[in-house]
Amino acid sequence: MSRDNVYKPDTATVTDIQLEAGGGRPIRTMTFQVDDPAERKKFLHKPGQFIIISYFGTGESVFAISSLPNEDGIIQVSAMKVGNVTGRLHALAVGDKVGVRGPYGKDFPVDEWKGKNLVFIGAGIGISPVRAVYQYVLTPEQRKNYGDVTLIYGARTPADLAFKDEFKEMDTRDDLNLWLCIDWKFGPKGPIEGNAHTDWPAINMSAPGDTVIPEGVNKFTAFVPQLVEVVKPKPENAIVVTCGPPIAIKFITQALAKLGWSPDQVYTTLENRMKCGIGKCGRCNVGDNYVCKDGPVFTQKEISEMFDDQ
Amino acid sequence: MAEMIIKKVRVDGLFEAMKGKDVYAPVTEDGISRFKLVDGTPNLKFKNSRKPPKEAFFPQTEKMFDLVKDGTRFVGAKDVPSRDKDIVMFGIRPCDGRAFNVLDELFNWDYKDPYYLDKREKATVIGLACTLPEMPNNNCFCTSMGGSPGSSEGMDMLWVDIGDSYYVESLNDKGNAILELGKGIFEESGDDIRSSAGKAIEDAANAIDRKLDTDGVRDALAKTFDNDYWAEFSKRCMGCGICTFLCPTCHCFDIQDIVKNGEGVRQRTWDSCQFDYYSIHASNHNPRPEKKNRQRNRVYHKFYYSENKLGLVGCVGCGRCINLCPVNIDIIEVIQGAKELGQ
């Protein structure tokens, strides 16, 4: 090529692998370092940006970057095993090679949020891009720039709950309000009342907002949008960062609206299917927005104004 | 702008002078023409190609990298060699020339696409105005989309058939370089020649019987996104994707790693928004799950999104999607129907 080839991945080496959640849909956090020291600086990212990882011979996939911004070419992603590339990534060992290109996309405007209260809401594997932002905000250098920080996260089953050790540690912090939940059990006709997790009490299913929170309890059996109604985060001088499956986002948005949040306070990241990541290949569009270039970070207000198929 | 003529009997001489360049020109086989690499002088009496000429810059399948192997595993990607030969695209019809403008914007937008630009920048586009009797084709409607049988947008040179000669306009340095190459072959033009060329173009424009009044299309589309209309017209769509593959401005592609006999390449291939696999998430959620979503996306991309994003409408009125649709979906009727609803 006579010019820089934006599609050319740099090689990177696996330095660490952690199993975050087991079961049929395991989640692993993988850490890579870009091999060529001269190329590492260009991988400095901002919270919310994404990276494209190659398993050479199988293909490329797009992942939210969950590591803290750095100039050492260190890239961490958490991936659920769902397809060809993630299947290969889950079989990686320390020392194996992958390809990386990026970082791409628009970041969360964390600097504009200084002085505000922040509420993070993650559902399922949607916690991964949200984690990139709360980890940044919770660093000693950044934490003092923000007001109250609340984190609400839920998964389908106890086995699906990711980052368990990390949450255990975060549960002891007094500068973070942590709330966790596990979905209701499912019967043939939908969710069944009762506890999915024996020592996590159920919320009031028919009227989540009326749930009385027992002293000292911050873990429940509930869907994430219901837990939002239980926690009742206040919209004054505050920002929400949320991500999850489209159905969860829909109900989280409705729950927030009930609590008085306006759509321009609610940030999310769309994770549409992508190939090029740079606004050429077409597929990630929502109306005239390319998620890869104009996003993936959008406010709910922006999303509500799109010609949105989903 | 330099104006010249070239006598038809002397076109061979120009093709001789262009030896050493990759010359793509229309080749007609079994009544169907297609732009191909040619050795000699093509027959310039042709109906426009079935497949658009975009494939010269954006091939249907293109190798991006050779995959590098270490033992039995692939561990990296190696660039393919840059091309060094100049390209001449000869006989490009005005609609397809205008389509190059759309592709140029897309592949230059923000990040530069090296595969497209490597070829595009080495190419000289010599257009051929649409004149009777070969053109217009059935369902041509360029004049409704801001074009004309004599448009030179997206070209470096435009030729117009005026009987025993072509009237030739060079539009820029690349065009002038062709004039230089054919020194002694091109001859001086004059006012009467220019007016014969103008007349030939006008006659072709008058022969275009399909019309689309594009006034108000954007306003109508802004209002009709949620209308059942899109489900109704797309019921008969089979999702074959031919409307997108044959569109001169469509540019969607897939990227795949292909391993054969132990050797691996990364390649890109044309893709289409008409397939469900195109947009399906890893979770199996599909933002465009039904034909109505996918057909609507195609229409909105051409007539709404493209203008917002690239400043250019994504349809040049070539008529290919109408001619080749197996279930007779007609983009002119689709847009007119949306306009009636949106009024």
Whether residues A83 and A146 fall in one domain: no
List pLDDT tens digits, range A83-136. Answer: 999 999 999 999 999 999 999 999 999 999 999 999 999 999 899 899 999 999
Indicate the DSSP class of residue B182.
T
Contact A272 B279 (CB under 8 A): yes
B329, B233 contact by CB (below 8 A)? yes
The residues that bridge with A154 in the sheet, in sequence order, are A123, A181
For residue A70, give the 3-state DSSP assignment. coil
Whether residues A171 and A217 fall in one domain: yes
The residues that bridge with B3 in the sheet, in sequence order, are B169
Whether residues A157 and A94 fall in one domain: no
Contact A309 B296 (CB under 8 A): yes
In-domain check, residue A286: no
Number of domains in chain A: 2
> Across chain A, how many H-helices and E-strands are there?
8, 17
Q: How far is CA B176 from the centre of its chain?
A: 24
Domain range spanning residue A168?
117-269
Residue A57: both structure tokens together: 């011979």
Contacts of A82 in chain B (CB under 8 A): 282-283
Contacts of B276 in chain A (CB under 8 A): none
Whether residues A137 and A238 fall in one domain: yes
Pairing of the two strands A177-182 and A149-155:
parallel
**List of residues 6+ apart from A89 with CB closer than 8 A:** A28, A30, A53, A55, A61, A79, A81, A98
Which among B70, B293, B308 is the nearest to A288, CB-wise? B308
d(C-alpha A24, C-alpha A27), whole Å: 10
Contacts of A282 in chain B (CB under 8 A): 251-253, 271, 273
Contacts of B73 in chain A (CB under 8 A): 56-57, 97
Instruction: Among A63, A80, A104, give the residue marking a domain's end.
Output: A104
Whether residues A204 and A171 fall in one domain: yes
In this predicted structure, the answer to whether residue A195 has a pLDDT above a threshold of 80 is: no
**B340 C-beta neighbours (distance < 10 Å), count:** 11
Whether residues A100 and A123 fall in one domain: no
- Rg for chain B, CA atoms, rounded: 22
In-domain check, residue A147: yes
State yes or no: cis peptide before B133, omega within 30 of 0: yes
In-domain check, residue A126: yes
Which among A6, A58, A86 is the nearest to B111, CB-wise? A6
Kindly state the average pLDDT of the residues A53-73: 95
Find residues 261-300 of chain A whose CB sits inside 8 Å of chain B: 271-273, 275-276, 278-288, 290, 293
Which pLDDT does position A192 carry in this prediction?
A: 65
**Average pLDDT score, chain A:** 92
Contact B285 A280 (CB under 8 A): no
Whether residues A60 and A158 fall in one domain: no
Among A75, A74, A79, residue whose Cα is nearest residue A18: A79
**List of residues 6+ apart from B25 with CB closer than 8 A:** B35, B36, B38, B42, B90, B91
CATH number of the domain residue A71 falls in? 2.40.30.10
Among B74, B87, B79, B126, residue whose Cα is nearest residue B258: B74
Whether residues A58 and A148 fall in one domain: no
CATH number of the domain residue A226 falls in? 3.40.50.80
Which among B254, B271, B287 is the nearest to A309, CB-wise? B287
In-domain check, residue A3: no
Whether residues A183 and A255 fall in one domain: yes
pTM > 0.90: yes or no: yes
In this predicted structure, the answer to whether residue A310 has a pLDDT above a threshold of 80 is: no
Instruction: Among A236, A253, A269, give the residue marking a domain's end.
Output: A269
d(C-alpha A47, C-alpha B327), whole Å: 48
List pLDDT tens digits, range B128-145. Answer: 999 999 999 999 999 999
Reported confidence tier of residue B21, pLDDT bands at 50, 70, 90: very high
Write the CA distances from B168 to A179, B10, B77, B192, B199, integer angstroms: 74, 13, 45, 13, 15
d(C-alpha B338, C-alpha A207), whole Å: 44
In-domain check, residue A287: no
In-domain check, residue A90: yes
Indicate the DSSP class of residue A288.
T
Where exactly does CATH 3.40.640 map onto chain B?
A: 2-56+76-206
In this predicted structure, the answer to whether residue A200 has a pLDDT above a threshold of 90 is: no
**What value, to the nearest 5°, has the Cα angle with vertex A12 and ends A10 and A17?**
150
Reported confidence tier of residue A25, pLDDT bands at 50, 70, 90: confident
Whether residues A151 and A98 fall in one domain: no
Contacts of A8 in chain B (CB under 8 A): 65, 77, 79
Which among A275, A283, A288 is the nearest to B309, CB-wise? A288
Residue A218: both structure tokens together: 């911050």
List pLDDT tens digits, range B73-95. Answer: 999 999 998 888 999 999 999 99
Whether residues A180 and A49 fall in one domain: no
Q: Report how many Cβ contacts below 8 Å link chain A to chain B.
A: 138
Domain B2-56+76-206 sits in CATH at 3.40.640
List pLDDT tens digits, range B226-253. Answer: 999 999 999 999 999 999 999 999 999 9
Whether residues A251 and A161 fall in one domain: yes
Kindly state the average pLDDT of the residues B146-153: 97
In-domain check, residue A5: no
In-domain check, residue A275: no
Residue A258: both structure tokens together: 């009930």
List pLDDT tens digits, range B32-57. Answer: 999 999 998 999 999 999 999 999 99
Helical spans, DSSP H, in chain A: 84-90, 127-137, 140-143, 164-170, 224-231, 246-258, 291-294, 300-304
**List of residues 6+ apart from B184 with CB closer than 8 A:** none
List pLDDT tens digits, range A135-168. Answer: 999 999 999 999 999 999 999 888 888 888 899 9
List pLDDT tens digits, range A223-248. Answer: 999 999 999 999 999 999 999 988 89
B323, B138 contact by CB (below 8 A)? yes
Which among A1, A278, A307 is the nearest to B225, CB-wise? A307
Find residues 66-105 of chain A whose CB sits inside 8 Å of chain B: 80, 82-83, 86, 97, 99
